[in-house]
Amino acid sequence: MDFTAKTLWITGASSGIGKAVAIELSSAKNVKLILSGRNEQALKVTEEVCKQNDCETLVLPFDLGEEASVEKAASYIRKNKIKIDALYQFGGISQRSFVAETPLEVDRKIFEVNYFGTIALTKHILPAMIENGGGQIAVTSSIVGKFGFPYRSSYSASKQALHGFFESLRAENTKNNIAVSIIIPGRIKTNISVNAIDKEGKTHAKMDAGQDSGMSAEKCARIICKKLKKEKKEILVGGTEVIMVHIRRFLPRLYYYMSSRVNPL
Ligand SMILES: NC(=O)c1ccc[n+]([C@@H]2O[C@H](COP(=O)([O-])OP(=O)(O)OC[C@H]3O[C@@H](n4cnc5c(N)ncnc54)[C@H](OP(=O)(O)O)[C@@H]3O)[C@@H](O)[C@H]2O)c1
């Protein structure tokens, strides 16, 4: 994907990785960015920074956890005949709670945002993208989308579900010139742990030590954008922790041992 003069819709643009990606992409020539998340004020802050690179922007807040809100945002795009060249999805919430103490409604909330909200938005824009001759769709999983991890049961499950959905979408639509990238971050220093929800569905409100020692969102964004440009199918990004993906695949018994002893914070 050559970003020049393209219209790129970025979810999760109010914070962390999505915000850093938006800022990174704003320097592409004649690019138009649609910035989404729930927090309109924070989106406007991202917009201000992007505008310093002379790019065109549209702030379009919506809630991934509310079907009607996703529909409203998508219908704004349809009604205004905005042609989306790429949809880059970073919106998501994490979890900090054990299976034994987590009520089902918390599991459902994580799935509503990370899985159903993301696939709903994708389904809204896919037909027009096919009709327009193609485009690019990226979705953000996690290294725990590749294996299970304590204190993250439904978060990990929601991210693993995205792999199944988006690999299927790719298989169905390669012929339609739709490129699909699955972004797989390790530990990136953002507010993801602060915004994660606990067993009561309340925010964890803590910067975990593991998160704090992660790669910067800016460095992560530079790597992601380079690989989005090359339309890489999987974009694994992070520090030494990403080796766990390879350990799970090639040395499963070592993974079983490590995952039952790891400090999940
Ligand atoms: N940081 C990491 O170590 C890490 C590792 C693996 C995967 N990831 C994934 O990377 C993505 C970005 O996370 P981040 O690290 O940048 O964390 P973050 O700073 O907490 O950003 C999360 C973004 O998702 C948006 N979001 C959350 N709930 C939403 C909802 N109901 N509706 C619409 N937007 C919503 C937030 O915007 P609003 O608050 O404005 O709604 C925010 O822009 C997530 O999908 C996360 O799972 C992160």
Tokens at 33, concatenated: 């960015």
Within a domain: 264: no
Of all atoms in ligand 1, which is nearest to the CA of residue 185? 6
Structure confidence at residue 188 (pLDDT): 98
Domain housing 254: 7-259
| Residue 139 amino acid letter | V
Looking up residue 252, the CATH number of its domain turns out to be 3.40.50.720
Identify whether 2 is part of a domain.
Answer: no
Packing angle of the helix pair 16-25, 217-229 (nearest 10 deg): 60
Q: What is the pLDDT of residue 162?
A: 99
Between the CA of 192 and the centroid of ligand 1 the distance, in Å, is 6
Q: What's the structural domain count of the chain?
A: 1
**Tally of CB atoms within 10 A around 91:** 25
Residue linked to tokens 């990403």? 242
Q: Does 265 map to a domain? A: no
Q: How far is CA 170 from CA 5, 234, 244, in A?
A: 24, 12, 25
DSSP state letter for 152: B
For strands 32-36 and 56-59, give the pairing.
parallel
Ligand 1 binding pocket includes 156 (Cβ within 6 Å) = no
Indicate whether 236 belongs to any domain.
yes
CA nearest ligand 1 atom 47, residue: 92
Determine, yes or no, domain membership for 16. Answer: yes
pLDDT mean by block of 10 residues, the chain; 265 residues: 98 98 98 98 98 97 98 98 98 98 98 98 98 98 98 98 98 98 98 98 96 97 98 98 98 97 92
Pocket test for ligand 1, best of 38, 96, 158, 203 (most atoms within 8 A of CB): 38
pLDDT on residue 99:
98
Residue that the structure tokens 């999983």 belong to = 141
Residue 1: inside a domain: no
Q: State phi, psi for 34 to the nearest 5 degrees.
A: -105, 125
- CA angle, 60 as apex, 58 and 61 as ends, to 5°? 145
The answer to whether residue 43 is domain-embedded is yes
What are the tokens at 78?
């349809």
